[in-house]
Every structure is written in structure tokens, then in C-alpha cells.
Amino acid sequence: MRSWIESANDADCHFPVQNLPFGVISHSGGPPRCAVAIGDRALDLAVLEDAGLINAGAGERVFGQSVLNHFMELGKNAWEQVRLQLSDLLADGGNDVLKDDSDLRARALIPLGQVQSHLPFRVAEYTDFYAGRQHAFNVGSMFRDPENALPPNWLHIPIGYNGRASTVVVSGTEIHRPLGQMKPHGTDEPVFGACRRLDLELEMGAVVGLPNQMGEPVTVREADDMIFGYVLLNDWSARDIQAWEYQPLGPFQAKAFGTSISPWVVTKAALEPFRTSTPEREKVLHPYLREPGPMLYDIELEILMQPEAAGRATSISRTNYKNMYYSAPQQLAHHAVGGCRMNTGDLLGSGTISGPEKAQYGSLLELTWGGKEPLTLDTGETRSFIEDGDTLTLTGWAQGSGHRIGFGECSGKILPAPAEKNW
């Protein structure tokens, strides 16, 4: 399939007509509204809805909203209906109404460079998992030993913790280095100050579109049906703060200061050709966690790092989402099995995605092995952890035949810690 928007047909374009990811944009001083990305353009869905060219079947207009939640809660039939309507309007040989109306095109199609991206959905709750086996093994080996790297429960359940929805931000939002307590190696008492071992975590985020009821477990298949789509996710991490605070209840302040996501939500329909299976189980899972079919996706992922004074970014890791041990539907089913209600707009972080080779690790903690093996960037600078002024960018795509289903970018620049108060 090709589009009459020529930029969408480039082989390395992230947003071909086969993709059509959803987001929220504003432009020309107007209010935020729902959009899809196509080629090098954002397509204003509120304009199409007002013109009667798309209809989500809600009996009311949903795309003039500042979040996607209203559209997501309509369910699978609405998602599929709108996707088909958009595909027909944008594909070569389809409905030419938009293509042939120059005034409508001028109002609906805006260059991506001229729009501001907003958080695409209202984040109801945020849960982060620890579901990558290689990452869990690496971290366990570092802090315990390889023979006892995985916690006893790890091969039986997808481990997670509830994070802060309030500090989930869209790509491009700057992040302040956090303050907190740390206990440096060899000291008897903790110290207070700015985090010294600031890190990123390369993750995918699953966006829940449909809720379940409190007290209502869901199967893995039902959980898959509840997911609207996926985003890139960077769960920024203060490793030294975390090391001091996490026992016995897990991450707290070290993970609460910022989580960045990409602005475009790639739908499951766009990713359908790239489904793949989780790896063979090392322990037999309980029936509620067993998958009825492939629930992961073959998505190439990359991390780029750019110091403030550097003229270009350095690629520091390349890996793939298919390296996960637990899929997002398994994570969602486990989340709900005890009676937890999942809501429209819930965000599930996959956990750090690391492949089997060092160049495929998804965090600086692993890439530098706890800071003992600093990275040398293309500019000659070295990094053990993130320094003030550094910009970290995640990108990813599923590679099709002559096209990509891309996620764009998820980036954030680190600012100095806020000034300490006169405590």
C-alpha cells in the first residue's frame, strides 16, 4: 500500500500509511486536539471529523479533545472503524475527497515540524515491570552473584511496582536531576544531595484502552484485547538513591521524578504483522499467565546519547523488544488477577529491554557494568552515568517489506538538580 502523501512512501519513514499512530498536537496557537502521523505530516482528526470524513461511532465528536482517552474507551470496533476510514482517505486509489480539496488539506495536514506534541492520553495509573530476563540477570549478577541473580519468584510471575502517573511526560520534556538520600560505598551513614548515578531504562509502554471491573480477572487473550497500542518509554532511574531506599518495599523516589514516553501511540493493528512469541518457559507458568498465541512484537530499538556541547548523538545500544520474557498482555493479566481494576489510560512499562550481547543492553548500569567500564562516545567523551546537559533519545521501528512501522523518538534532556532549600 502506498499513500498519495509522498513522504509517507520513503523506505525509512516511521509513519507510512500502514502505521497511522495516534497522538495529540497543537499548532498555530490553537488548543490541543487528536491527530495521526502520516509521512512528515500530522493529520488533524478534529478537522476531518467536523467535515464528516471520519466517525468513531460515538454519537458525538471525540477528536477535538486534548487526550485520546475518549476515543480509546469506545473500544475495538471504533478503533478499527476509524483506522479503515483514515486508510481509505490517505491511500493511493482510495477516497480522494481529502486529496482533491486543497482548502481541507491546508487545514488538516500540518508539517510535523510546525506542531507541538502533547502527552497523548491522560495517564490514569502507571505500573513498571521488571520483565526482561537479561536485564534481571545482569542486575542480579552485579549486586548478588550469577548463581543467585534472579529472585526466587522471577520465573513464575512478572514482577512490577506502581509508579507515579503524575510525572509521566511527553518526549522533549526536560528532566531535573533528583535530590535524595544515598549511602556511598564504604560509608556508615547516608548523605543527602543530587543523584550521582543517573540512568535511563529502555522500555516499551503498553497503553490500556479498555477497563475491566474491580474483582474481575482477565485472561491473557482478554488482556491483549484491552490494549490500545504501544509507545516508547524511558523510565529515568536514580541508581544510588534506589540502592539505599528499595529494601524492603522496592523503588520509590528513585523512580518517581520522571518517565518519558513518545508522542505517538502505535496501534496493535499496525503491529499485527510483527507478532512473535515469548521465549520457551524455564518454569511452567500457572494457567492464568499462559499465552494463547504470539503476544510480543519484533521491534528494533536504539538508544542515542548526546552531551550538551556535542554536535551529534552517539548510538550506544541496539536491541529488540522480542527479547522480553513476559509480554504486556501477561503483565496486564497478572495485574488484574488479584482484583485490581485497570482503567482507560493505564500505562504498563515493560521493564528494561536488554539483549544477550553487551551492545544490546538497555541501561547505562549494564552498559558500563555499574560504572566500572565507561562508554566512549563518538565525540571522544566518556560516560559512566548521565551528566547534566546530556540528551538521551530512544527510537524504534518494526521492519516491514519496504516500509517501517515506527514510533518516532522519545527524548529528554537532563537539567541540574533543583537548588536545595534551607532545611
Q: Can you give the pLDDT at residue 169?
A: 98
Q: Can you give the pLDDT at residue 304?
A: 98
For residue 117, pLDDT beyond 90: yes
End-to-end CA distance of the chain: 62
Count of other CB atoms within 10 angstroms of residue 277: 12
Stretch 179-195: mean pLDDT: 96
Q: Of 101, 118, 135, which closes a domain?
A: 118
Sign of torsion, CA 393 167 344 206?
Answer: positive
354 — pLDDT class (breaks 50, 70, 90): very high
Count of residues in the chain: 423
For residue 161, pLDDT beyond 90: yes
Q: Are residues 144 and 25 in the same domain?
A: no
Q: Of 56, 87, 118, which closes a domain?
A: 118
15-27 pLDDT, tens digit per residue, is 999 999 999 999 9
Structural element, H or E, at residue 415:
strand 404-415
Known active-site residue 176: no
Q: Is residue 422 part of a domain?
A: no
Beta bridge partners of 311: none
The CATH number covering residue 212 comes to 3.90.850.10
The CATH number covering residue 18 comes to 2.30.30.230
Total domain count for the chain?
2
For residue 59, pLDDT beyond 90: no
Catalytic residue among 70, 135, 334, 335: 135
How far is residue 124's CA from residue 69's CA, in Å, rounded to a whole number?
10
Chain centroid to CA 224: 17
C-alpha dist (Å) from residue 339 to 125, 130, 163, 213, 342 = 15, 21, 19, 8, 9
Q: Is residue 423 part of a domain?
A: no
Q: State the virtual CA torsion across 364, 368, 372, 373 in degrees, nearest 10.
A: -150
Q: Are residues 64 and 144 in the same domain?
A: no
Cell 487545514 maps to which residue?
107
Q: Of 83, 118, 153, which closes a domain?
A: 118
234-281 pLDDT, tens digit per residue, is 999 999 999 999 989 999 999 999 999 999 999 999 999 999 999 999
Counting residues of the chain whose pLDDT is more than 70, the rounded percentage is 100
| Boundaries of domain holding 156 | 126-415
Q: Can you give the pLDDT at residue 97?
A: 97
143 — pLDDT class (breaks 50, 70, 90): confident
359-396 pLDDT, tens digit per residue, is 999 999 999 999 999 999 999 999 999 999 999 999 99
Stretch 127-134: mean pLDDT: 97
Q: Can you give the pLDDT at residue 362?
A: 98
How far is residue 69's CA from residue 62's CA, in Å, rounded to a whole number?
9
Core vs surface per residue 160-173: b (16+ CB within 10 A) or e? bbebbbebbbbbbe
For residue 339, pLDDT beyond 90: yes
Q: Where are the beta strands (DSSP E) in 171-328?
A: 175-176, 179-182, 191-194, 198-199, 202-208, 227-235, 237-238, 259-261, 266-267, 275-276, 296-297, 300-306, 314-320
274-300 pLDDT, tens digit per residue, is 999 999 999 999 999 999 999 999 999
